[in-house]
Amino acid sequence: MNSRRRFLRKIGVGSLALGLAPNLSKGMSLEKVNKPVVLSTWDFGLKANVAAWEVLAAGGRALDAVEQGVRLTEADPTERSVGYGGRPDRDGKVTLDACIMDENAGIGSVAALEHIKHPISVARAVMEKTPHVMLVGDGALQFAKEQGFPEEDLLTAESEKEWREWLKTAKYEPVVNIENHDTIGMIALDSHGNLSGACTTSGMAFKMHGRVGDSPIIGAGLYVDNEIGAATATGHGEEVIRTVGSHLVVELMRQGYAPQKACEEAVKRIVKFTHNRKKTLDNIQVGFIALNKRGEYGAYCIHGGFNYAKYDAKGNELIVSNSYLKTNG
């Protein structure tokens, strides 16, 4: 046996114990891990990353970092697609979706939650304090109140005005990259080498009351496998659910794909399914971001115009994602 083959065999045995064999055998480098690092969707991720980085830089847990990070966006009334100030459904109700996943495959989720500013923290409480993984609607609200979360009116004057304007035509038309929908999805690798993720949104503006998107669905809007990597999604939730998008990205990384390639494959799956269903991509935007156990990252989307924020030792920066179509929306 030549020395290279012997070396690969050694790697194979050692890395199997770590659960990393598929990646290493497909050429993943053995260089130093880039940690801590946090990634989040869209430009509002820049601010959210700062809150997450405070936790990470102090040696904190990725789970705490992602929760603290997205809480910032949830509380910001100028961000009109997440939390307080989010656009309402067609009945004028602000209904929020969120989920969280930790390094131990702990999961918690809330969907169609009203009157609570921080659905991500309610999702975490579902994970940590109940025997369940998902609560919806009134039950989620009841639980949140029992946990001491204050009940608040989340419909700001601006969102109400926009909704009243919308009522004049009452046409449900999500627009690619125009901000009538967006999500903050955040994934992080902490200094201990553990991954976690959080995802929170008010969903598609003027959706049907009761509509739930991908963002609170573990596997669709978010997935974390602490042996492999993490991924999260933004865009048309129906398409992300159809492909169980974030789980797909993580499984592709398990098979040895770099985060960038994994996001590309997942987007191509959505494109294929859309074509199979004889639908057009014109009004469908989906973006994925992914991070692996080594702190390598990537992103991809259908239409141009998607960006994401990355904070690591080199600083906080906004990165424009490559896209399947060269059109910008």
Instruction: Report, in Å, the least distance between residue 235 CB and ligand ASP.
Output: 5
Closest CB to ligand ASP among residues 99, 258: 99
**Residue 183 a catalytic site member:** yes
Q: Is 251 exposed, middle or buried (0-12, 13-18, 19+ CB in 10 A)?
A: buried
**Minimum CB separation from ligand ASP for residue 36, in Å?**
25
Min dist CB 110 to ligand ASP, Å, is 13
Cβ atoms of residues 302 and 235 within 8 Å: yes
Closer to ligand ASP by CB, 18 or 208: give it. Answer: 208
Q: What is the DSSP letter of 219?
A: T
Nearer to ligand ASP, 20 or 290 (CB): 290
Q: With contact defined as beta carbons under 8 Å apart, do 200 and 73 qualify?
A: yes
Q: Contact with ligand ASP (CB under 6 A): which of 64, 89, 103, 182?
A: 182
Residues from 5 through 24 that contact ligand ASP (CB under 6 A): none
Residues 139 and 329: their CA atoms lie apart, in Å, by: 37
Q: Note whether 141 and 116 are within 8 A (CB).
A: yes
Give me the least distance between CB of 109 and ligand ASP, in Å please: 13
Stretch that binds ligand ASP, among 6-14, 30-38, 46-54, 179-187 (CB under 6 A): 179-187
Q: Which stretch binds ligand ASP (CB under 6 A): 1-9, 24-32, 43-51, 199-207?
A: 199-207
- CA 263 vs. chain centroid, Å, equals 13
Q: Which is nearer to ligand ASP, 37 or 96 (CB)?
A: 96
Report the residue number, 44 or 149, with the smaller CB distance to ligand ASP: 44
Closest distance to ligand ASP from the beta carbon of 47 (Å): 17
183, 234, 243, 274: the active-site residue: 183
Positions in 200-259 near ligand ASP (CB under 6 A): 201, 203-204, 213-215, 234-237
Is the separation of the CB atoms in 85 and 156 below 8 Å? yes
Burial of 157 (0-12, 13-18, 19+ CB in 10 A): exposed
Torsion of CA 254, 256, 261, 262, to 10 degrees: -10
Q: Select 24 or 220, whichever has its Cβ closest to ligand ASP.
A: 220
Other beta carbons within 10 Å of 257: 24
With CB under 6 A as the contact rule, the residue among 80, 115, 181, 293 that binds ligand ASP is: 181
Q: Does 85 bind ligand ASP (CB under 6 A)?
A: no
Could you tell me if residue 206 is left (phi over 0), alpha (psi between -120 and 50 degrees) or otherwise beta?
A: left
Which are the contacts of 234, defined by CB distance < 8 A and separation ≥ 6? 41, 42, 182, 183, 185, 201, 286, 287, 306
Tell me the catalytic residues.
Answer: 183
* Chain contacts with ligand ASP (rule: CB under 6 A): 181-183, 201, 203-204, 213-215, 234-237
